[in-house]
Amino acid sequence: MRVVFRDKSWELEGKMTVKKMLEQVGVIPVTVLVVRNGKLLTEDVLLEPDDEVKLHAVISGG
Amino acid sequence: MKCNKCAQRAVFTMRHYKLSLCETHYMEWFVSHTGQTIQKYHLLRPDERVLIAVSGGKDSLSLWDVLIRLGYAVDGLYIDLGIDGGFGYSALSHQKIDAFMAGHPETRLHVVDLAAEYGATLPQIAGRKRRGREKPCALCGLIKRHEMNRIAQAFGYDVLVTGHNLDDEAAVLFSNVLHWHTGYIARQAPVLEERTGLARKVKPLCRAYEREVAAYALIRGIDYIYEECPYVEGSRTLMYKGMLDQLEEEAAGTKLQFYVTFLHAKKDGFFRDEEALVELHPCDTCGQPTIAPGSCAFCRIWKEPER
Ligand code: SF4
Ligand SMILES: [Zn+2]
Ligand SMILES: [Zn+2]
């Protein structure tokens, strides 16, 4: 699957949960929203190998 | 994972409330939770004329949307600082606000164009000042505060609303505690009461996690400016937010508890607001209340000789 975050992206092998995916790319879960096809995903959702997910940064500088 | 209120798939989990909700129920929850914050801290009364400071970002646009849904009459104020950053930051922010307003013809937007009004953009004026050269943020804060108050007074708004969320408030509190800025700590609150010449200021999102606001904006389809102001890079606030996020990841609810227990301690009289006792007098240039003798800090920005 392909994971996109700002100007970075990763290619990950196989199926895994959102939680596992965040662990693999090393992003702290509370700092992002995970979006697939414009829809928000909870941490337990199982991602398929051909999924493309976007990480949406939550924090702004303010 | 199922929604805690219906059979639909949950899209968002709030570990700190042990609550997972579907799109519909999350939208409902967020609006009513903001309404509860407004009640709890006596922020707004139903008949008041409200002015919201909007930046084009997710917090101010989401809050505007929520306040309208709660039935308040809310107009917007956009302060065009003339920041470019290589991608037209200010212009793009303004576009996002116009797009939002197109869906809300009942609202009105006040625009203060700094360059047109005072002859210089924020980057220009910052370049001339010793204290603005490194980072214009202190000047920016000063300008925004002054102009928000000026427009609120000039057009007779009862109350000024800003989109500060829980993460903003927790980061400020964290910083103030680290440095024991007791005066600032005493004044940090969801509502700053009105004083002669100063409009009341309120923060209805003070109990809303930044993550909750972002989820609301995303589900609601609010098109906001995702890019940051170019000057935010390396800011202390961002650093503190990052640290608080690490704590939050370890123990859900940390940020909320940090802020809410602070408000309780304050209510119990742990911090005394010295500033409330300080005499203010009108600035001899603009008339806004100030502690400085003569002109207020804002008016001095435009008067000081260039160096
Ligand atoms: S980052 Fe600094 S300059 Fe940019 S909007 Fe915020 S306070 Fe103003
Ligand atoms: Zn539901
Ligand atoms: Zn003045």
One digit per residue, pLDDT tens: chain B, 307 residues? 999 999 999 999 999 999 999 999 999 999 999 999 999 999 999 899 999 999 999 999 999 999 999 999 999 999 999 999 999 999 999 999 999 999 999 999 999 999 999 999 999 999 887 765 667 988 999 999 999 999 999 999 999 999 999 999 999 999 999 999 988 999 999 999 888 889 999 999 999 999 999 999 999 999 999 988 999 877 888 999 999 999 999 999 999 999 999 999 999 988 877 766 678 899 999 999 998 889 999 999 998 665 5
The amino acid sitting at A36 is R
Q: Select from A2, A49, A50, A58 the least CA-distant residue to A25.
A: A2
Q: What is the DSSP letter of B253?
A: T
Is B218's CB within 8 Å of A62's CB? Answer: no
Report the residue of chain A nearest B162, measured CA to CA.
Answer: A62
Q: What pTM was estimated for this model as a whole?
A: 0.95
The amino acid sitting at B173 is L
Query: What local confidence, expressed as pLDDT, does residue B234 receive?
Result: 73
Domains annotated on chain B, with CATH: 40-278 (3.40.50.620)
- Residue in A31, A40, A61 closest to B237 by CB: A61
Interchain CB contacts (distance < 8 Å): A and B:
63
Q: Measure B64 CA to ligand 3 centroid, in angstroms.
A: 29
Q: What is the DSSP letter of B188?
A: -
What is the torsional sign of CA B207, A32, A42, A36?
positive
Tell me if chain A has a CB within 8 Å of the CB of B168: yes
Report the residue of chain B nearest A41, measured CA to CA.
Answer: B11
The neighbouring-strand residues paired with B112 are B79
Domains annotated on chain A, with CATH: 2-57 (3.10.20.30)
Per-residue pLDDT tens for A6-59?
989 999 999 999 999 999 999 999 999 999 999 999 999 999 999 999 999 998
